[in-house]
A and B are shown apart, each in its own frame.
Chain A
Amino acid sequence: EPEVTQTPSHQVTQMGQEVILRCVPISNHLYFYWYRQILGQKVEFLVSFYNNEISEKSEIFDDQFSVERPDGSNFTLKIRSTKLEDSAMYFCASSPGRHGSPLHFGNGTRLTVT
C-alpha cells in the first residue's frame, strides 16, 4: 500500500538556524498538509496545500514557516530562524481530496531545537 514518507526521522538544529522538513505524499493525492505535535500534546493543524498554493493556514503558521512543492513529488516545510518552542514532531499528510477522505500521515520528523 502506498504511503507518505518523511525525511529525516529526527532533526537536531540550533536556535536561529533554518530547517527544511521533507515529505513525499502519495502520488495520486491532491491535498497536502503539515501538522505539529508538541510532546504529549494534541496534533495541531499548520497548513493545507492544493494546486500549488496554500489553501488554508492556522495562526501557528506565521511568517517563520513556508511550504513548497518544488518538483511535483516532494512537499517541504521550511522553518526559518528556529526557536526552542518549535521543538515538536512534524507530520506530513496527504489526501486524494474526495470529500471526507481520511488523511494519510507520514511517520513524522522529530525536530529538536537546542
Chain B
Amino acid sequence: AQKVTQAQTEISVVEKEDVTLDCVYETRDTTYYLFWYKQPPSGELVFLIRRNSFDEQNEISGRYSWNFQKSTSSFNFTITASQVVDSAVYFCALSESYTSGNTGKLIFGQGTTLQVKP
C-alpha cells in the first residue's frame, strides 16, 4: 500500500530562518515518483518539484532544496532564508508506476502549514 506521512502539522519561523519540511513515504513499487506541491492561502495547488525513484541526487532551485534518501524513504524539502511569501501549506505526494496498475494518481500527505513571520 502506498502512504505519505508528513509528521509536522504546523511550523512557524521568523523570516530569514531556514526550515525543513519532512516527508516519509511507503510503497512496494520499485519505480515511483515523489512530488512537492505548495498551496498558498489563495487555495490553488502549485507544483514545485518531481523526483523519480532512481535519481537520488539532491536538487537546488534558488532558496529551495530537496533531499531524497531511499534508505530512509524520505524526501525532505528545505527553504533557505525563508520569506513571508513562503507561508503556505506544503504537500508531499507519491505516484507509483503505470506498470503496477496505477493511473498516475498522486497520493498526498497530510500537509505541513508553514507560517513565516516578519
- Contact status B47-A102, CB under 8 Å: yes
- Contact status A100-B43, CB under 8 Å: no
Which of B43, B106, B111 meets A103, CB within 8 Å?
B106
Supposing A43-B108, A48-B103 touch, asked if A104 and B47 sit within 8 A by C-beta, the answer is yes
* A4 vs B79: C-alpha distance when bound (angstroms): 28
- Contact status A89-B43, CB under 8 Å: yes
What chain B residues lie within 8 Å of A100 (beta carbons)? 33, 50, 52, 95, 97
- Contact status A45-B107, CB under 8 Å: yes
What chain B residues lie within 8 Å of A102 (beta carbons)? 35, 47, 50
Q: Can you name 7 A-B pairs with beta carbons within 8 Å?
A: A42-B111, A43-B108, A44-B108, A99-B33, A102-B50, A103-B106, A105-B45
Measured CB to CB, the nearest residue on chain B to A48 is: B103
Chain A: residues with Cβ within 8 Å of the partner, total of: 26
What chain A residues lie within 8 Å of B35 (beta carbons)? 102
Distance between A11 CB and nearest chain B CB, rounded to angstroms: 14
* A50 vs B107: C-alpha distance when bound (angstroms): 18
A75 at the interface (CB under 8 A from B): no
Which of A48, A56, A108 meets B44, CB within 8 Å?
A108
* A88 vs B58: C-alpha distance when bound (angstroms): 36
CB-CB contacts below 8 Å: A14-65 with B:
31, 33, 41-45, 48, 50, 55-56
- Contact status A31-B103, CB under 8 Å: yes
Distance between B41 CB and nearest chain A CB, rounded to angstroms: 13
Identify 7 new A-B residue pairs, CB closer than 8 A, beyond the known A99-B98, A102-B50. Answer: A42-B108, A43-B111, A45-B107, A48-B104, A97-B104, A103-B47, A105-B45
